[in-house]
A = this chain, B = another copy of it.
Amino acid sequence: MSREEHLKPVVALVDQLVQAGVRHLCVSPGSRSTPLTIAGARQAGLEIYTILDERSAGFFAYGLAKRSGEPVALVCTSGTAVANYLPAVIEAYFSRVPLLIITADRPAELREQGSNQTIRQTHLFSAHVKWMYELPTAEDSPILIRHARVAATRAVAVAMASPAGPVHLNYPLREPLLPPRDVDTKRVPLSFYTGVLHPAPRAIERVLGQIALAGRILIVSGPQPTTDALAVEKLAVKLRAVILADPLSGHRTSGNSEVPVLAHADVWLRADDASRDEIKPDVILRFGRAVTSKTVGQALLSWQEKPQILVDENMLWSDPQEGATDVIQANPASFCEALNSAIGDTAEVRDARLAYADQLIRLDRACQERMRERMEQLEPFFEGQIFPELARLLPDDTNLYIGNSMPIRDMDSFFPITATRLRVFANRGASGIDGVVSSAVGAAAYLREKTVLVIGDLSFFHDQNGLLAASLYHIPLVIVLVQNDGGGIFSMLSQATQQDVFPYFETPHGRDFQHTAALYGAHYTRARDWDDFRLALRDGLTRNDLTLIQIDTDRAENARLHHKVLAPPEREREEGSL
Residue contact A52 to B495, C-beta cutoff 8 Å: no
From the candidates B31, B89, B489, B515, name the one contacting A516 in the complex (CB within 8 A).
B515
- Asked if A329 is at the interface (CB within 8 A of a chain B CB), the reply is no
CB atoms of B458 and A290 under 8 A apart: no
Q: Which of A552-573 contact B (CB under 8 A)?
A: none
Chain copies in complex: 2
- Whether A511 and B79, one on each chain, are in contact in the complex, defined by CB atoms closer than 8 angstroms, is no
Establish whether residues B434 and A52, one from each chain, have CB atoms under 8 Å apart when the complex forms.
Answer: no
CB pair B432–A81 under 8 Å, yes or no, is: yes
Given contact pairs A87-B84, A431-B79, A504 touches B38 in the complex (Cβ within 8 A): yes
- Chain A interfacial positions (CB closer than 8 Å to B): 27, 29, 31, 34, 37-38, 40-42, 48, 50, 52-55, 79-81, 83-84, 86-87, 89-91, 94, 110, 112-120, 123-124, 126-128, 176-178, 289-290, 316-320, 322, 405, 430-432, 434-435, 458, 461-462, 464-465, 468, 472, 487, 489-490, 493-495, 497-498, 500-501, 504-505, 507, 509-513, 515-516, 518-520
User: Is there an interface contact between B430 and A37, defined as CB atoms closer than 8 Å?
Assistant: no
Q: CB-CB < 8 A to A38: which residues of B?
A: 495, 498, 501, 504
In the complex the two chains form, is B290's CB within 8 Å of A114's CB?
yes
Contact partner of A80 (CB less than 8 A), chosen from B87, B110, B124, B290, is B87
With A and B bound together, what is the CA distance between A109 and B435 in angstroms?
28
Compute how far the CA of A458 lies from the CA of B81 in the bound complex, rounded to whole angstroms: 13
Pick the residue among B80, B430, B497 that contacts A119 (CB under 8 A). Answer: B430
* B-chain residues with CB within 8 Å of residue A512 when the two chains form the complex: 518-519
Task: Please determine whether A113 and B320 come into contact, CB atoms closer than 8 angstroms.
Answer: yes
In the bound complex, do residue A319 and residue B113 qualify as a contact, i.e. CB atoms below 8 Å apart?
yes
* Contact, CB under 8 Å: A495 / B34: yes
Beyond known contacts A52-B461, A112-B317, A468-B511: 17 more, CB 8 A cutoff: A31-B489, A34-B495, A40-B504, A41-B501, A41-B504, A80-B87, A80-B430, A83-B86, A86-B124, A94-B119, A114-B320, A117-B431, A118-B430, A119-B128, A461-B468, A468-B509, A515-B519
Q: Please name the residue on chain B nearest to A40 by beta carbon.
A: B504
Q: What 6 pairs across the A-B complex have the smallest Cβ distances?
A: A80-B432, A114-B318, A114-B290, A515-B519, A80-B87, A83-B86
Given the complex, which residues of B lie within 8 Å of A290, measured CB to CB?
113-116
Q: How far is the CA of A490 from the CA of B32 in the complex (A)?
A: 12
**Complex: how many Å from CA A501 to CA B37?**
8
Chain B residues lying within 8 Å of A128, measured Cβ to Cβ, are: 119-120
Distance between A286 CB and nearest chain B CB, rounded to angstroms: 11
CA–CA, A41 to B499, complex, Å? 11
With A52-B509, A86-B83, A516-B519 as contacts: A113 and B317 at CB distance below 8 Å: yes
Flag if A498 contacts B178 (CB, 8 Å): yes
Most interface-central of A80, A317, A458, A515 (chain B CB within 10 A): A80
Q: Which chain B residues lie closer than 8 Å to A29 at the CB level?
A: 458, 487, 490, 504-505, 507
Determine if A90 and B119 form an interchain contact, defined as CB atoms under 8 angstroms apart: yes
Contact A430 B52 (CB under 8 A): no
- Provide the bound-state CA to CA distance between A86 and B52, in Å: 18
Which of B40, B91, B322, B494 is close to A178, meaning CB atoms less than 8 Å apart? B494
